[in-house]
Structure 1
Amino acid sequence: MKFAITKLKAAFGNNKIVDEQLNSTYTEAIINDVEGVPFALSDTNVMYAGMSELAGYHYFKTIIIGTFKIKTFKGAKLILNGDDFKLELKSDMLELLSESSAVPNRNVTAIDFEIDEKDLPKIVRSKIQSLQLSAKKEKVVFNMIEMAKDEEE
């Protein structure tokens, strides 16, 4: 029996396109299942985020839902790439652990990042272009979600 690899690939379609469609469906399911407005998206993760203040300290609180899974005692780093700035935030705790969701193949990871008061004006959805989350050997790039004018913070 004679066959060609290119013909087999053609029969099954382009894997990259199929993967992108599956990832899109995966993140859409997360957005539909979770109450609230997402802050940013990666291929297989959705980030929900907001600011918080406790006893004069400021935090950028994030919840990542999706395939991102981590267990570390070394903390995490979040790099915010903006229009005219690059801001690096470190997690407020070194011990981080993702929790399994009730939905199969979905994890929930809550990470709070310390932020200086002088950097607070930079944490505005319209000023941020992308975010890069690094923890252990995991690295996830999130892109901002376009918001309607009435939904912006």
Structure 2
Amino acid sequence: MMQPPLSDLQPGQVLARGTARALASLGFDSLPEMVLRPRLRADLMAVGRKGEIWIVECKSSRSDFQSDRKWQGYLEWCDRYFWAVDADFPTELLPEETGLFIADGYGAEMIREAPLSQLAPARRKALTLDFARAAARRLHRLCDPGLAGEAGAPGAF
């Protein structure tokens, strides 16, 4: 599948693309726009080789960050929580108890690793299954564009 040119992407999508590339180099496979529960959608959810789950929220501006009232709700859905911002973002706004990537459309660099807060085994299993099913649905839609999607399914895109 052809990637749209960067000029066709929203600023947060550009950050997500570069961060997903960096995550892959760290051994993490990611999905953009992963639904965790109603009204809570992670910009990127990534699963590592050992099953560790990371969430990355992409913020394209000061106002984008300041208008986000739900970011702390993501903490209970991952082992590590990160922000991805561009090089011009005022990083002093971001909580120090979270991880940080500086990103662009081509890659990202981890500036600060997020602290580990291990998920409960039952939540990890449920999230891993949701991640796998969402990835399979998305792949199926690419292979069969006429497929009717499951509205409201976790990870639906």
- Please tell me the TM-score bracket, short chain as reference: 0.3 to 0.5
TM-score by length of 2: 0.34
More strand by share: 1
TM-score by length of 1: 0.34
Structure label with greater radius of gyration:
1
More helix by share: 2
